[in-house]
Homo-oligomer: A and B are copies of this chain.
Amino acid sequence: MNASPITATLLVSCSDQKGLVARLTDFVFRNNGNILHSDEHIDEEAGLFLMRIEWDLKDFAFAREQIRGAFEPLASELSLDWELRFSDEDRRGAIFVSKFDHCLYDLLFRHRAGELRADFSLVVSNHPDLRGLVEYFDIDYQVFPVTPESKPAQEAAILAELERRRIEFIVLARYMQILSPDFVAHYPRRIINIHHSFLPAFAGPKPYHQAHRRGVKLVGATSHYVTAELDAGPIIAQDVVRVSHRDSVEDLIRKGRDLEKVVLAQAVRLHLENRVLVYGNKTVIFD
């Protein structure tokens, strides 16, 4: 097998019942697919079954445009929520930034290094500051300044631009504006934010200052899907780093930058590899 076979990935959730693993893997097997990874999770409290199956498309009985149709009858019978993705389809994404550049540059370099299966064609910002390197990388940089008054109009303008480009997902790489619930509703479970604390500790503004004031011995970063409620969406990835009384707020900010980059990139990668299933306000990470 070569290094990168082209694969299909099926993400499934439904109420738990007997035989789901067997019947879903049988669909692949019966149609001559070779399963590379399969993983499932049962949430007993919620009575929910969640599964991810990835198989090699080589020799599969159906062409990729036929797979959905072929799977539909089984999906109906089992009342599945499901999603099908192909490994060679880069998803169209936009990155939103303000003035902090570390997460933006980190994503751009990872993208260039082939770590992220995405097609980033647009950076949206409320400030002009970060245009330079973005354009050096041949990515469009558009500025939408936001004031309390202009916010509804600007969000509408951003949405129009995103739709024009058929953007599928958004990364908030330290974007310092709060998106309206209406905006968020256009991209359910498809806006990934990085919050610079170990949520639910220190939600809201200036978490490093809050952490310094409280005297914690670790600071964290949390990447989550954006929902209507601020900093309360389903968590995708988290990590922490050790700090001490010797660290000023500036040191926390510096140490935190490294965390934010790694945690956000991890969440984006998991999202793009179809390894995240949201249920309720939580996530299953098939890693």
Contact of A18 among B3, B29, B43, B200 (CB under 8 A): B29
* Total interface residues in chain A, CB < 8 Å: 66
A115 touching B254 by the CB < 8 A rule? yes
A21 to B32, CA, bound (A): 12
Interface check A246, CB cutoff 8 A = yes
Instruction: Encode A187-204 as 1/0 by CB contact (under 8 A) with B.
Output: 000000000001111100
Task: Please choose the segment from A6-14, A63-71, A79-87, A232-240 that sits at the chain B interface, where 4 or more of its residues have CB less than 8 A away.
Answer: A232-240
A window 4-50: CB within 8 A of B: 18-23, 25-26, 28-30, 32-44
Interface check A282, CB cutoff 8 A = yes
Which residues of the partner chain B approach A109 to less than 8 Å between Cβ atoms?
A: 101-102, 105
Interface check A186, CB cutoff 8 A = no
Copies in the complex: 4
Contact of A245 among B36, B115, B220, B285 (CB under 8 A): B285
A23 touching B29 by the CB < 8 A rule? yes
Contact of A215 among B18, B26, B235 (CB under 8 A): B235
Instruction: Encode A235-258 as 1/0 by CB contact (under 8 A) with B.
Output: 101111010111000100010011
Which residues of the partner chain B approach A235 to less than 8 Å between Cβ atoms?
A: 214-217
Interface check A159, CB cutoff 8 A = no
A26 touching B34 by the CB < 8 A rule? no
Contact of A216 among B105, B199, B202, B257 (CB under 8 A): B199
Interface check A134, CB cutoff 8 A = no
> Most B CB atoms within 10 A — which of A3, A21, A109, A235?
A21
Which residues of the partner chain B approach A41 to less than 8 Å between Cβ atoms?
A: 245-246
A–B Cβ pairs within 8 angstroms, 10 of them: A18-B29, A21-B35, A25-B25, A38-B39, A214-B235, A215-B235, A216-B238, A218-B240, A244-B285, A245-B285
With A216-B238, A218-B239 already in contact, 9 other A-B pairs whose C-beta atoms are closer than 8 Å: A19-B29, A20-B35, A21-B25, A21-B29, A22-B26, A41-B245, A136-B136, A200-B201, A217-B237
Binding site for B on A (CB under 8 A): 1, 3, 18-23, 25-26, 28-30, 32-44, 101-102, 105, 109, 113, 115, 133, 136, 198-202, 214-218, 220, 234-235, 237-240, 242, 244-246, 250, 254, 257-258, 262, 281-285, 287
